[in-house]
């Protein structure tokens, strides 16, 4: 007779640094999703995993169990090869906005199921909701139809995809277990595998504004993500990119949409253009599409796809974006070289202005954010505007200024050049 499994036995096994069996993993994830395993028991197991880790096989099985907790999208019949992109999150990272229509304009289909921001990192859906009329919630049928007709969709994850991950992520967020690489990797990959894409490019960020602060941590996570993809037969590439300074000049919601549109119209900050084109090349290569992302971006075809994509989800691509009721300019205290602009400090300042949220249920201000008027390495004069703060709540400005004050420095030494793209793992 087979002994029934128990949460305590699974917790003890991982506490004692044992490898969890497939049966244990399948049972505990399913039992937690259905409420048989209590939050405090899963919190204990998550802490044991954080402290003692999981090997590649355990992580792949944990990912599969989370996929099996819900439904899968069936995107067959779209008529184009499917390729998605996921970013581990950063400050000013609006790349998804121009990237999805760019890859679609080159001939692939991009089912970009995205999320909302929490803390100092922005959320793609929060940014797009600053466009009048645009809606994030689509049915599986609407997602498929939009991919077939336009080639790109950016929307919220459907409620049936990997419900175990949704429940476990909320628990990890309040129990100090977010930083576990196996749990991060399985969280990301369970949703992407359930989404039904043919290939995936991961933008794994490293630096002060990223979740992974060092290149070594980012490389470890990238390796885990690519490993899960390989075990599940998903063509996966991870691109390690720098996130010590904000990406582009805009940080927030509507201000980032405006900057993304600049990129789609052939302009925009060079670093945003560079990363958008680089990720597009990786995505097209994975699905065997011979496209020219740089030429497509310059031609305006990606912008046309953007307009169709926004309109298909009820948005008006020509409508004016929200404008903040209050602005504040931060000036250079001295002349010299802007030696650094710290991504984390800028992200926290934007969050305090109302661009982000402390809890998932909090609202965001669509017009809130920061425009960086100078970049690290620029020579500046005393009194020259460095940052422009936007908010509808002027009372939030002092706290934002306090955060920003620690995030830049004017001195005599130009910072050493650092590559935006650090490495590529295939």
Catalytic machinery residues = 86, 165, 172, 187, 191
Residue pair 218/239 in contact (Cβ under 8 Å)? The answer is no
DSSP code of 87? Answer: E
Closest CA to 170 of 71, 33, 23, 354: 33
CB neighbour list of residue 225: distance below 8 Å, 6 or more residues apart: 185, 188, 189, 202, 204, 236, 238
Cα distance between residue 388 and residue 328, in whole Å: 6
Residue pair 20/10 in contact (Cβ under 8 Å)? The answer is yes
Cα dist from 57 to 54, 223, 338, whole Å: 8, 13, 47
Per DSSP bridges, beta strands 326-331 and 385-391 are antiparallel
CB neighbour list of residue 168: distance below 8 Å, 6 or more residues apart: 32, 42, 46, 66, 183, 187
Residue pair 38/168 in contact (Cβ under 8 Å)? The answer is no
Residue pair 105/296 in contact (Cβ under 8 Å)? The answer is yes
Cα distance between residue 92 and residue 38, in whole Å: 38
**Phi and psi for 52 in degrees, rounded to 5?**
-115, -10
Cα distance between residue 265 and residue 263, in whole Å: 5
Contacts 24+ apart (CB under 8 A), 402-408: 403/345, 403/348, 403/349, 403/352, 404/330, 404/345, 404/346, 404/349, 404/370, 406/342, 406/345, 407/340, 407/341, 407/342, 407/344, 407/345, 407/346, 407/349, 408/338, 408/340, 408/341, 408/342, 408/345
**Phi and psi for 249 in degrees, rounded to 5?**
-110, -15
Cα distance between residue 411 and residue 298, in whole Å: 37
CB neighbour list of residue 298: distance below 8 Å, 6 or more residues apart: 266
């Amino acid at each position: 007779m087979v002994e029934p499994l128990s949460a305590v036995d699974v917790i003890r096994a991982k506490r004692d640094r044992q490898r969890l069996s497939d049966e244990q993993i399948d049972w505990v994830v399913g039992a937690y999703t259905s409420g048989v395993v209590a939050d405090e028991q899963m919190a204990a197991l998550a802490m044991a995993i954080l402290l003692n880790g999981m090997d590649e096989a355990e992580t792949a099985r944990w990912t599969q169990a989370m996929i099996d907790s819900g439904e899968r999208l069936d995107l067959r019949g779209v008529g184009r090869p499917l390729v998605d992109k996921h970013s581990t999150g950063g400050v000013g990272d609006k790349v998804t906005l121009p990237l999805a229509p760019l890859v679609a304009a080159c001939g692939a289909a991009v089912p970009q199921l995205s999320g909302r921001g929490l803390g100092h990192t922005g959320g793609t859906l929060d940014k797009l909701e600053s466009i009048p009329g645009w809606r994030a919630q689509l049915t599986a049928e609407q997602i498929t139809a939009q991919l077939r007709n336009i080639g790109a969709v950016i929307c919220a994850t459907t409620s049936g995809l990997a419900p175990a991950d949704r429940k476990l992520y909320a628990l990890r967020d309040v129990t100090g277990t977010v930083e576990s690489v196996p749990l991060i990797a399985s969280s990301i990959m369970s949703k992407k595998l359930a989404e039904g894409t043919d290939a995936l490019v991961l933008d794994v960020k490293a630096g002060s504004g990223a979740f992974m602060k060092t290149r070594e941590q980012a490389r470890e996570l990238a390796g885990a993500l690519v490993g899960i993809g390989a075990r599940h037969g998903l063509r996966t590439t991870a691109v390690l990119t720098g996130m010590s300074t904000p990406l582009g000049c805009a940080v927030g919601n509507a201000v980032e949409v405006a900057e993304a549109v600049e990129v789609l119209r052939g302009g925009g900050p060079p670093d945003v253009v560079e990363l958008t084109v680089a990720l597009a090349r990786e995505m097209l290569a994975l699905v065997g599409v011979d496209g020219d992302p740089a030429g497509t971006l310059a031609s305006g075809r990606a912008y046309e796809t953007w307009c169709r994509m926004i309109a298909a989800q009820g948005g008006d691509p020509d409508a004016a974006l929200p404008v903040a009721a209050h602005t504040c300019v931060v000036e250079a205290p001295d002349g010299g070289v802007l030696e650094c602009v710290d991504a984390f400090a800028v992200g926290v300042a934007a969050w305090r202005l109302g661009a982000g949220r402390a809890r998932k249920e909090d609202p965001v201000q669509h017009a809130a954010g920061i425009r960086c008027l100078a970049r690290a390495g620029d020579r500046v004069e005393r009194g020259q505007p460095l940052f422009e703060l936007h908010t509808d709540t002027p009372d939030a400005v002092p706290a934002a200024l306090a955060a920003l004050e620690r995030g830049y420095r004017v001195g005599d030494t130009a910072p050493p050049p650092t590559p935006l793209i650090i490495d590529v793992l295939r």
